[in-house]
Amino acid sequence: MKLFLAEDDAVLSDALIASLMRSGYTVDHRADGFEAEAMLTRNDYDAVILDLGLPGQDGLTVLRRVRAAKPGLPILILTALDGIDDRVAGLDAGADDYLAKPFEFVELEARLKALLRRSRALPPDQPSLGRLRLDRGGQRAWAGDTPLELSARELAVLDILLSQRDRVVTKEQIAAEIGGEDLGANAIEVYVHRIRKKIEPSGVNIRTLRGLGYLIEKQATEH
């Protein structure tokens, strides 16, 4: 799990990063609101811990802008302000949960796990990775603002890969989820090959792990 922490208190951020890493998370950190927004816009994270009292650009502004760009991203806000108006302002701006300082790490981790469970149990209607975006309802996909020409089967395979984007997906899983009894290993290889070429402009690649399956990921040149 990859997390992003926006917190300007050096002592608190160091303690949080150490605790989260001991719990098995990887953590990127910024102490400035403008830098936090830039990181969150450019990169993909499983969840965000966002302090509202950031220098440069306040956390509420960061929250609103990131929420507009990434509506499905779980965001937990931290703040020293614990009045009802402050809580409402944070939730109205798009936060998924709210934790007032001071707090215990065990409570933060419990709330974080709950957000991650909910985000995985309810996958977004428009899953995305980098500049690649899929609209399940409309059965369409885009590389940035450019629509991609994908067949119904190709869209189905891409949907499975995006839904399991941090996991290796086997050919057997793809065949089972698509429900095609005629869909053999060779056919899946053809679909993946076609999809790989079509999504190249998005900066996303489908990596083949020999003997295991497929992993969709951002290309190494994407930052």
Domain residue extents for the chain: 2-121, 128-218
* pLDDT score of 222: 44
**What is the CATH number that goes with domain 2-121?**
3.40.50.2300
Is the pLDDT at 122 greater than 60? The verdict is no
Would you state the pLDDT for residue 27? 95
Identity of the amino acid at 133: R
Give the confidence band of 223 by pLDDT, cuts at 50, 70, 90: very low
**Tens digit of each residue's pLDDT (9 = 90 or more) over 19-40:** 999 988 999 999 999 999 999 9
Task: State the average pLDDT over residues 104-130.
Answer: 78
Structure tokens at 163: 């839904």
Mean pLDDT of the chain: 86
Asked if the model's pLDDT at residue 141 lies above 60, the reply is yes
- Residue 179 scores a pLDDT above 90: no
> CATH topology for 128-218?
Arc Repressor Mutant, subunit A (1.10.10)
Secondary structure of the chain in the HEC alphabet? Answer: CEEEEECCCHHHHHHHHHHHHHCCCEEEEECCHHHHHHHHHHCCCCEEEEECCCCCCCHHHHHHHHHHHCCCCCEEEEECCCCHHHHHHHHHCCCCEEEECCCCHHHHHHHHHHHHHHHHHCCCCCCEECCEEEECCCCEEEECCEECCCCHHHHHHHHHHHHCCCCCECHHHHHHHHCCCCCCHHHHHHHHHHHHHHCHHHCEEEEEECCCEEEEEECCCCC
User: Taking a C-beta distance cutoff of 8 angstroms, is the pair 79, 7 a contact?
Assistant: no
Give dist(CA 201, CA 151) in Å, integer: 18
Separation of alpha carbons 101 and 212, rounded Å: 45
